[in-house]
Copies of this chain bind each other. A is one copy, B any other.
Amino acid sequence: MNAAYHRLKARFARIALLGESQAMLHWDAAAVMPPGGAAARGEQLAALSGLSHELLTAPQVAEDLAEATAEGEWEGANLALMRQTHRRATALPTALVEATARANAACEAVWRRARAQSDFALVAPALKEVVRLQRETAAALAGATGLSPYDALMEGYQRGIGASDVEPIFAAYEQFLQQALPQAEAIQASRPAPRPLTGPFPVPAQQALCRAMAERVGLDFDHARLDESTHPFCGGTPTDVRITTRYSADSAAQALFGVLHETGHALYERGLPPAFAHQPVGEAAGMAAHESQSLIIEMQACRSDAFLRFIGPQLQASFGGGAEAYDPANLAALWRRVERGFIRVDADELTYPAHVILRFRLERALIGGELEVEGIPAAWNEGFTHLLGLTPPDDARGCLQDIHWYDGAFGYFPSYTLGAMAAAQLMRAARGAEPGLDAALAKGDFTPLRDWLRKAVHGQGSRLGFQDLLRAATGKPLDPSDFTEHLRGRYLAA
């Protein structure tokens, strides 16, 4: 730990505080900003990005990195992450970073209208500019990191796993799904239809329930907010986490499971090691790791047989009606229902990976130059039909549904399915380590699961890459068979 390393820590703390400011401005834009603020917001974010980039690429940083020494596993990992961040940042000229921030903000604003009108042509010019800048970025990062252009983008979201790991995993899942999906559908069809929850589901009652359940999972509202936005997300900072959801008066479960999902993300942020706050090693380990935390709460814990026994009476207290519909077996039939559909965020956990596989293949082709923006709608519809046997009736239910590409996020989509797979693997390990885990969930007690995750995942910061984090927590790198076993148990057991 020499003077150069201390200078670097001070500098990276400043960069992190700029990043926190940007996170708050992003939350504001999504949750509360009036539409007329969008143009200036884009400029504000671009200015903060530009300054952050300059702090990171100043000549002093290269000098300090050359001199810096750090002792111990954590400080050593911190210094290694500084070097990696610096390598990636110095690959990108300031003008490119600022142009990207501006183009992304502009495209996102147009996308909101384009999706509402199901008009891909409206957003195509803005998206072309976003893609052009992403290709330029990918090429520059590839040069600096020695990775392929697409992997170089992926690394920006999740360190420690690449497209060559992902491709065979996804191909195998595609094969698994070709058999498993019709089989699950047949089993489901052979059973009596579940009783629907009939409502009404007044939004204020949903809000109260969502808040109470988020608290039960472990979110402390002295350090968090729950708001509404079109596209639910978890933002903010470790001591001020901002989660959002979307309420529909027609559904008891949609907003609730959205909140449980975002609460999983929020717990990760809240559990990051405070001793390394505002340092690279104190951040979350990446987007796939993050998604594993949202899905272990939403999918693994909160749709488990155990938790369904707890949540039924809670729902009945909120929305009334007869007890039959709130029976755990009925809730399982309602909420663990397989159904081919067009919308990723509405997909069940069996078909969800197909949505991701499609996007992974298209975005890889877009970055590689084998696909152009104009070709997206046709390629989307063809790929979707191939994977799930359905053709989207319009682009709003096809290639316009997700914000990601329109906001400049390429290389991010694989994280969802890597996260789902990691969640199954971590849940299996947690159950092994905490034999009382399911009994606790059945009482609405998340303590055993949360404590294990805090130690095995949250408290680790980004000391380890994706595969190493799983290895340390579960004894093996990503093993998709834990996920397919989980699915077999839940959907294919006759």
Contacts and interface: CB of A to CB of B under 8 A. Distances in A.
Interface in A1-53: 13-14, 17-18, 20-21, 24-25, 28, 32-37, 39-41, 43-44, 46-48, 50-51
Given A40-B20, A47-B18, A35 B222 contact: yes
B32 A32 contact: yes
Contact of A40 (B35, B51, B225, B239): B239
Contacts of A236: 37
28 contacts: A14-B50, A17-B44, A17-B46, A17-B47, A17-B48, A18-B48, A18-B51, A21-B21, A21-B25, A21-B47, A21-B48, A24-B24, A24-B28, A28-B28, A32-B32, A34-B224, A34-B240, A35-B222, A36-B222, A36-B239, A36-B240, A37-B239, A37-B240, A39-B239, A40-B238, A40-B239, A40-B240, A51-B51
Interface of A: 13-14, 17-18, 20-21, 24-25, 28, 32-37, 39-41, 43-44, 46-48, 50-51, 220-225, 236-240, 277-278
Given A20-B40, A21-B21, 19 more contacts: A17-B46, A20-B44, A21-B25, A21-B44, A24-B25, A24-B28, A24-B44, A28-B28, A32-B32, A34-B221, A34-B222, A34-B223, A36-B220, A36-B223, A36-B224, A37-B236, A40-B237, A41-B240, A51-B51
Q: Which of A24, A39, A220, A225: most chain B CB closer than 10 A?
A: A24
A223 B35 CA distance: 7
A231 B105 CA distance: 32
A414 B127 CA distance: 52
